[in-house]
Structures are given as structure tokens and as C-alpha cells.
Structure 1
Amino acid sequence: MNKSLLAKNNLVALILAGGKSSRMGEDKALIPWHNIPMLKRVYQVANKCTEKVYIITPWPEKYQSMLPTECEWLTELKTEGPLVAFAQGLAQINSNWILLLGCDLPLLNSYIIQTWVTQLNQISPEILALVPQKYQRWEPLCGFYRQEIKIELEKIIDRGKNSFQKLLYQIPVQPLSIDSETEKMLFNCNTPLELEMEKKGIIESG
């Protein structure tokens, strides 16, 4: 990725690794995908596409040993879902743009992310986010957000809301269209069955 482009956009990544993984039954961040823990796979892609990578989690000691020392750790003080975690992380980051990522995106594609990055310097100043959308539903945990979104984040959290969907329908967002390759990239696994079916599908199609 062109580092001058990243510097111009002042783009960093924030990976959320604070989920309880209740439906999966084990920590999704540590589940191996082709022998690499999912959190590490997401980090590797984020590191290719941004200036700096932050990870916010209540348990940094669980993951620090598997990632490079240059990775920056932010402690999640309240485990109240991804919207609150994003707000907590954003309060500790000084950057024009933040690439927000879930830790459970094993098929994350650096080429697609880098293609999206090239659009950032063409976006109107009033647009607060660049997020994939399909069938009127946003994919917020693989999207780009301006630092200025924190004002709207605080408002919606203060009203007792914790939905990314509600937030993104209340602010100016530029949607990213989702084709078949992007849809594949956005796969996130929530249950052991989903994980096994996706692995089986990849093996059979290969």
C-alpha cells in the first residue's frame, strides 16, 4: 500500500476483540483459520492497509504474545457491545480516519480494503463514514469512520442505544457496494456450524 496515501488520509485500524463469543462457545479471536488465529489474520491485513493498528479488548494479556510489539493495545473498560467499544477506542485515537474491523473476519482481503482506501481522499467532508451495504443493511465492522463521528456516537449511546444500524441511518454515510468477492470477504463466523460449513465450502470449491 502506498504509504504516502495512508499518511495523507491519516488512516489507522481499530480491531474489536472484546466479544463474549457465546454462540461459538470459545474465543473467536483465538480460533485458527489455516493454522493462524483469526485475530492475527485480521491484524496482518490491517497492518498492510493502514499506518498503525490498535486492538481494543478487555483481555490484552490473552493475545499479546501472538502479535508484533508494534501493535498498540487499548483496554476496553466496559463490555457493552461493539458500538460502545468503538466509542471507547475512538476516544483514545487521534487520526482522521479509522478502519474499524471485527476480529472474526478470516477471509479479509487486503486488495479489496486497499481499493476502498483509495476512495477516502475523494469523499466530501460532510460524509462521516464509508461502509459496505447490501439489502439496506450495513456491515459496520469492516468500514471506515471519520474522527468526527464520535460526536454522533456519544449522542446515540447517551440515549441508551447500542446499534450500529441505527447510528448509520442517522448520519451521512457513503455506502460501498457489495459484489460476490466482497460478500465472501465479509463472512464472519458466529457458530461452530457456520465455521465448518465455510471451511468445507472453500475446500470443495478449490
Structure 2
Amino acid sequence: MKQLSDCSAVILCGGKSLRMGFDKALLQVNGEYVLLKMVQQLEQLFPKVLLVTNDRQKFPPTFQQAAIIEDHYSEKGPLGGLVTALEQLETSHLFLMACDIPQFSVPLIEEMALYIYTHEVVICQQESRLEPLFAFYHRSCLPIFLKQLATDDWRIRKEFAQFSVKKIPLKDSYGLNNVNTPEELVFWQ
């Protein structure tokens, strides 16, 4: 596995977790924080992994080694977190994912990375649905996303027609299911 030197990973962990009933970013399985395990996995691929959150104070001391930044646009949904990350970006690309994807595939990320130098957005597609919270974004996307923040439509995919987008169809072996309710916690076991 080769590290992607000109790309940072960003995990969005500032959602409200209303359906779950507790903050998913602080979920523990067998006494370990799932989010920290995700960081460790991503550190194998990326030189820098950032957590974007609505409140950095919510994290216990166990997270002191993690790079945590606060969302500058916390009331603008995931788009606000993405724009915050792009503004802080020290590399030309970032890989964005949500903190509630229990089973993500490193080989899938590596496959997606093959297209980052020819496309501004590289995104997974499950059937007809795009997965904007499991995608690569080039820093050139920032001005368009910044303008979009001023509108009432914060869907990340809304402005994709303005970008060069590569869609990676998901194979059956790759599952990108978000865990949103207590009943779905079995996916993290």
C-alpha cells in the first residue's frame, strides 16, 4: 500500500446524530473509539488525517494525537465541513468521508485515487446514488463550494456539473452504509 503524498484525509464528525440518540463520533466498540481506529486506517494511506467537527471540546483526552479542526460553517451541513477542510488544505487533494461508515475499503480508496490527477472530484456511485461523503476533491473546487454556501442548497453534489467528475461504480464487495440508528450498530461489531 503506497501512501498518497499529495492528499489529506478528512473525516466529518460534526453531525447532530439525531436518529442515533448519541454522538456517533464518540462511539466505542470493545472499549475503543471507532473514530480513532478509522484515523489509524487512513494514516496508512494519507500523510495527514483531519477531523472536522462542530465542537472540538467534545473529544476526550484520548483524541489528543488527532488533528482536529472546528467547522467554520457548522450550520451548513457536510458542505460546510468540506469547505472548512478545503480552506485548511495543505495538499492539492482531500479524501472526504463521514465518521459513520463502519466498513470502508482501503483498496476502494486506492482505486479511486488513480483518477485524482485527471478529475476534480472522484466519487463512489451505489446504483444511481452518488456518495459525496466518500470522495476525493481537488482544492480547485473551493471557490464554487464557497459560493454555494451562500445559497439555501447545501447538497455537495449540487454543483458537480461545474467539475470534472469521475464516478466509480461500487462492486458488490464494497459496502458504504452509514450507521444512523441504534439498530444499525451491528454493522460496527
Per the TM superposition, whether the score is higher than 0.5 is yes
Aligned to 1:32: 28
**Does 1:72 find its partner at 2:67?**
yes
Aligned to 2:40: 44
Larger radius of gyration: 1
Name stretches of at least 5 consecutive residues in structure 2 with no aligned partner. Answer: none
* Root mean square deviation, CA, Å: 2.0
TM-aligned CA distance change 1:177 to 1:73, over 3 Å: same
1: CA distance, partners of 2:13 / 2:148: 22
The residue that corresponds to 1:117 in the other structure is 113
**Whole-Å Cα distance in 2 between the matches of residues 195 and 119 of structure 1?**
33
| Percent pairwise identity | 27
**Equivalent position to 1:133, from 118, 125, 129:** 125
> Is 2:115–2:122's contact at 8 Å kept on the other side of the alignment?
no
Is the contact made by 2:8 and 2:48 (CA closer than 8 Å) also made in structure 1?
Answer: yes
| Equivalent residues, number | 188
The answer on 1:172 being equivalent to 2:164 is yes
Amino acid corresponding to residue 182 of structure 2 in structure 1: P
Q: Is the 8 A contact 2:9 2:96 kept in 1?
A: yes
Aligned residues of 2:72 and 2:80 also touching (Cα < 8 A): no
Contact 1:131 1:139 in 2 (8 A): yes
Matched, 1:102 2:98: yes
- Structure 1 stretches of 5 or more lacking a match? none
Matched letter for residue 158 of structure 2: K
Secondary structure of the residue aligned to 1:91 is: helix
Deviation at 1:110, TM superposition (A): 2.0
Instruction: State the 1:68 CA deviation.
Output: 5.9
Is the 1:17–1:55 Cα contact (8 Å) retained in structure 2? yes
Determine the C-alpha separation between the residues in 2 that align with 1:169 and 1:194. Answer: 34
Q: Which moved more, 1:57-66 or 1:173-182?
A: 57-66
1:2 equivalent in structure 2: 2
Other structure's SS at 1:187 match: coil
Residue 147 of structure 1 and its aligned partner are, at CA, apart by 0.5
Question: Residues of 2 paired with 1:50 and 1:118: CA distance?
Answer: 14
